[in-house]
Structure 1
Amino acid sequence: MTSLPSLSIIVPTLNAAAVLPKFLRELKSQEYPANKLELIVVDGGSSDSTREVAAKFGARVIDNPDRFAEPGVRRGIKAAKGSIITVLATDNFFKNRRAVSELVTIINQPNVAAVFSKQVSDGSDSIYTKYINTFTDPFSHYLYGSAANSRTFSNKYPVVINTKNYVVFNFKNSKQLPLLALAQGMTIWKKLLVNKHDLDDVAPLQDLIKKNKQIAYAKHVHLLHHTVRDLKHFWQKQCWSAKNAFENKQFGIASRQDFITQEQKIKSLLFPLYSLLILPALTWSIYKAIVDREPLWLLHSWLCFLTTMAIIYTLLMLKAIELTKQLSLSKISHK
């Protein structure tokens, strides 16, 4: 065990005191040498006891003045002492205590640059969480299709290596790159993370693919992702994502234009039409539910519609706020 590499787990937080104890307790239970495991909580300015809870569990706490997760992860990576980096959110839980050891075993294989696990749900999760863990969010699934989720990578990419514990796909020779990010348990050698992508969590993985580095999928490492509690929570998350996309062009799909095809760029513009007409998304949902024998597909058209409505609602709210500010400034200037 003494020959194992050191590992730093990066956790971006913001007001996570309520969920952090369970999350850190689970991480502490991982069967990996304590002297080889570093926990780094990168806090975006919590107003609750997040920082105190993290310190209580022995985590290093780092300030993230940017508040957002992506730059927070980058700050954590720069401060990390481990030779390997794993990125987790506080709604991520490994299903077994040997998960970290299994990820390290795989990334230690010759030529493997990074490894990711399978996102799963359990009986406590809402149907919306189950949808996201199966397909990813509605917009990303619409845009990327089979390239959005490890469950369907084999439909799009040829297999290069297939062992008992992991699979490596050939991503480089495909016109469309997969949706992989420094999130949800992605584990990667720190030395391969360049500093030019401080604000995007997808670009570093795209760089690895372009350099023909191997990214492995761990077959038996399952990561619970408790992402959406109910429909109201789904709406709030979609509005939050839309707000970030409008206000911060360095995040989300706006920052990934160099990594998507021209066809995907056109598709992204057609998403509102696809969603609001209802019939195209509904027809596709029913067809895929029958072909894949997956009833969660029946949520697709409804969640696409809600996502577009959240985008429209957020845009109108931002425009209203901007107009109110302009009117206020106009009144002041005329006094």
Structure 2
Amino acid sequence: MSNLYPLGKARIPNVVKEKLPTISFVIPTYNSEKYMQQCLESITIQKYPQEMLEIIIADGGSRDKTLEIAKKFDVTIVNNKLKTAEAGKAVGAKLAKNEIVAFVDSDNILPEDTWLLKMTYPFVMEKDISATEPIYYTYRKKDPPLTRYCALIGMNDPLCLFLGNYDRYNAITNKWTSLKIDTKDMEDYLKINLNIEKIPTIGANGFLVKKELIKEINEYLFDVDLIHDLVIRGHNKIAKVKVGIIHLFGTGKVDFKRKQTRRIRDYNYYNKMKQRNYPWIKTNYLKIFKFAFFTVLGIPIIYQIIKGHGRIPDTAWRFHFSACWITLTTYVKETIIKAKSEKEVLATRN
């Protein structure tokens, strides 16, 4: 077996059409012309009854050719007045008509034409499955170094490596998550039972969930908050399917810093507005300190690079050091800015 699929690879299921669920793809967009064509093409070539699919594009006011490209396909385009991807997911999910909602970002590409058959198979086999998600980010040597790096570590934020709550295969740890989760290997997928204390960052980049379970949706639909809500309500059985999904994360340090800045600003803002439910920081202070200490020390990060490179050799591993430093400095800077802002507001009130 290739070292690119150390956890196994799902077979093509043989399922009669009558048992397949109907699917609503929800794709939030904003100036997404760069990857829009590839994303939609990968959906329309799926070996899945096309009459059982709908594609909803929730657009935040794109000024490039995003909508021009989208209109070449059989899609429903809706306005996302709040512009962000989280708001777009909420808008699209509310309008979804089918049994399963598939959250796919505009920079995602389904890597094979049997992807949807494999992703829906757990729903067909087990009625108590609430959601499914790929277990890999598809690794392609032709992609830019940053995209390859994110595929190799199985996440877009190296802090999650230290928190342990990542949700895709990581070549450093040789695991899909470092959380101790009740897991049963069903050969084509892992059936996992989540508990409220241990939830990986499940919920994006090819996440499929039963529509009936997400009827109450706020203006924003945050990935891990959604799975947190499902687990609280007892819908805790999830399938990690042994397939990948392509996530074209970016090309270099500028893209990475921009996205990390947006990530921490969005979290701080919506956390302040009490619109975030998952307790990211409260139970992770020691792990966050470990991340900062290892990054400053440098040697542990180099050890991780060597370990990952030993499993899947690639020069993209060199980005790990930069990714950790950019993440640390960006998060510290934004945290200081947030603290100063809150102090100024408090001083004004007094």
Q: State TM-score, norm by structure 2.
A: 0.78
Which structure ranks higher in relative contact order (CA pairs < 8 Å, sequence separation ≥ 6)?
2
Residue 305 (1) aligns with residue 325 (2)? yes
Residue 167 (1) aligns with residue 171 (2)? no
Separation (CA, whole Å) in 1 of partners of 2:95 and 2:79: 11
Among 64, 72, 77, which residue is 1:48 paired with? 64
Q: Which amino acid aligns with 2:321?
A: S
The answer to whether the 8 Å contact 2:89/2:103 transfers is: yes
Provide the secondary structure at the position in 1 that maps to 2:105.
Answer: coil
Structure 1 equivalent of residue 208 of structure 2: 187
Separation (CA, whole Å) in 2 of partners of 1:171 and 1:133: 24
Separation (CA, whole Å) in 2 of partners of 1:104 and 1:139: 30
Provide the secondary structure at the position in 1 that maps to 2:205.
Answer: coil
Structure 2 equivalent of residue 149 of structure 1: 167
Shift of 1:177: 1.9
Separation (CA, whole Å) in 2 of partners of 1:300 and 1:212: 35
Structure 2 equivalent of residue 134 of structure 1: 152
Q: Which amino acid aligns with 1:75?
A: V
1:270 and 1:156, CA in 2 relative to 1: closer, same or farther beyond 3 A?
Answer: closer
1:33 and 1:290, CA in 2 relative to 1: closer, same or farther beyond 3 A?
Answer: closer
1:286 and 1:53, CA in 2 relative to 1: closer, same or farther beyond 3 A?
Answer: closer
Shift of 1:207: 2.5
1:158 and 1:315, CA in 2 relative to 1: closer, same or farther beyond 3 A?
Answer: closer
Structural mapping, 1:263-302, within 5 Å: 263-265=283-285, 267-268=287-288, 272=292, 274-275=294-295, 277-279=296-298, 281-282=300-301, 285=304, 288-289=307-308, 299-302=319-322
Structural mapping, 1:62-77, within 5 Å: 62-77=78-93
Separation (CA, whole Å) in 2 of partners of 1:154 and 1:238: 21
Shift of 1:25: 1.7
Shift of 1:226: 1.4
Structure 2 equivalent of residue 83 of structure 1: 99
Structural mapping, 1:198-213, within 5 Å: 198-199=219-220, 200-210=222-232, 211-213=234-236
Q: Which amino acid aligns with 2:327?
A: T
Residue 100 (1) aligns with residue 132 (2)? no
The answer to whether the 8 Å contact 2:36/2:107 transfers is: no
Shift of 1:18: 3.4
Q: Which amino acid aligns with 2:264?
A: A
Separation (CA, whole Å) in 1 of partners of 2:179 and 2:144: 29
Structure 1 equivalent of residue 8 of structure 2: none
Cα deviation, 1:153-208, whole Å, max 9, x if unaligned, reads 46543554322211112322x73321112x20001110011425542221121222
Shift of 1:139: 4.2
What is the count of residue pairs matched by the alignment? 315
Q: Which amino acid aligns with 2:238?
A: I
Shift of 1:255: 5.6
Structural mapping, 1:228-247, within 5 Å: 228-247=250-269
Provide the secondary structure at the position in 2 that maps to 1:42.
Answer: strand
Q: Which amino acid aligns with 1:29?
A: I
Between 1:194-203 and 1:76-85, the stretch displaced more is 194-203
1:288 and 1:61, CA in 2 relative to 1: closer, same or farther beyond 3 A?
Answer: same
The answer to whether the 8 Å contact 2:39/2:110 transfers is: no
| Structure with the largest fraction of helix | 1
Separation (CA, whole Å) in 2 of partners of 1:289 and 1:81: 43
Provide the secondary structure at the position in 2 that maps to 1:112.
Answer: coil
Cα deviation, 1:295-321, whole Å, max 9, x if unaligned, reads 76654333111122334566789999x
The answer to whether the 8 Å contact 1:119/1:222 transfers is: yes
Residue 113 (1) aligns with residue 130 (2)? yes
1:153 and 1:123, CA in 2 relative to 1: closer, same or farther beyond 3 A?
Answer: closer
Separation (CA, whole Å) in 1 of partners of 2:71 and 2:159: 36
Q: State TM-score, norm by structure 1.
A: 0.81
1:73 and 1:305, CA in 2 relative to 1: closer, same or farther beyond 3 A?
Answer: same
Shift of 1:103: 1.4
Among 74, 77, 94, which residue is 1:61 paired with? 77
Provide the secondary structure at the position in 2 that maps to 1:19.
Answer: helix
Q: Larger Cα Rg: Structure 1 or Structure 2?
A: 1
Identical aligned pairs, as a percentage? 21
